[in-house]
Amino acid sequence: MMKGQIPITIIILTNRNDSRFINSLKSSQIAKEVLIIDNNSKNNWQKLNKKFRFKLLTYSDQIENFAKARNLALKKVETNWVIFLDSDETLGNSEDQLKANIKKIENIIKKDLFDGVSIIRKDIFLNKMLNFGEAGNTKIIRMFKKNNGKFVKNVHEVAQIAGKVGVSDILISHFSHTNISSFQKDIQIYAFMASINEQANPRLNILKMIFYPIIKFFLNYFIKLGFLDGYRGLTYAIMMSLHSFFVRIFYFEKKNINSHAP
């Protein structure tokens, strides 16, 4: 594997210390600079530092705003370009994909036509890649010039780019949930955080609570062909519909608590 050859910084935010994070860290070694934001992961950093290159940033508070955490890391970047990886993501799912990604990243930096680019993220869900549904071919902006991008939204954060955005076929592999119980726990956590962003309009949110989960399931399972992924596609479509439902439930729960507060 090429190490430190690309003039770019890869940033990984992690609260995990499992093999998924190790693989993410391993794939990041192609970058000139690697920044790790440690959110109470309990990794053995001294041991890891003997095998991998990285700079460590500590974020010890419970993260209630992921965009804020990412933007703080941006201020520490020394290269012109940056790529963000989650701690369960890698640059491809094989050495060949990694090599292909290296060429694509180098080409984007060399041509300098864009201020940010979207990448393709493929989900490995319950130990098998999803090819359909919303997770089957996700395009998100994860690579951009450090001075031209910032993240917004406290959860499910997205990059906003000041300038021209291009489309790339750089591939990131997302090794998501290996069992349903962990998926369910994450859905509840992220739905609770997302409920903060809901509009203060009870009537609108009641309509969303009724119709959004149904529409989301229909889109994922039928329009986006999630049924072609078998039981995994069905499971994913149901769970993401529940996420949509929980967002509104938590909104009303917090609203009710606040209205009865002394």
| pLDDT, tens digit, 9 for 90 and up, residues 30-71 | 999 999 999 999 999 999 999 999 999 998 888 889 999 999
Residue 1 resides in a domain: no
CA-CA distance, 31 to 7, in Å (whole number)? 6
Same domain assignment for residues 16 and 77: yes
Per-residue confidence band for 109, with pLDDT thresholds at 50, 70 and 90: very high
* Percentage with pLDDT > 70 across the chain: 96
Give Cα separations from 183 to 95, 197, 247 (angstroms): 28, 22, 15
Range of the domain at 49: 6-175
CATH of the domain at 131: 3.90.550.10
Based on the fold, state whether residues 161 and 125 are members of the same structural domain.
Answer: yes
For residues 159-172, give the mean pLDDT. Answer: 97
158: CB partners within 8 A, 6+ apart: 140, 141, 151, 152
Is residue 63 included in any domain, yes or no?
Answer: yes
Distance from C-alpha of 82 to C-alpha of 131, rounded to nearest angstrom: 27
- Domain stop point among 125, 144, 175: 175
**Residue 2: per-residue pLDDT:** 57
State if pTM tops 0.85: yes
Residue 74 belongs to some domain of the structure? yes
Answer yes or no: do 111 and 129 share one domain.
yes
- Does residue 250 share a domain with residue 142? no
Residues 160 and 247 in one domain: no
Mean pLDDT value across the chain: 93
Query: Are residue 167 and residue 206 in the same domain, yes or no?
Result: no
Per-residue pLDDT tens for 114-151? Answer: 999 999 999 999 999 999 999 988 999 999 999 999 99
- How open is the CA angle 30-150-191, to the nearest 5 degrees? 95
pLDDT in the model for residue 260: 53
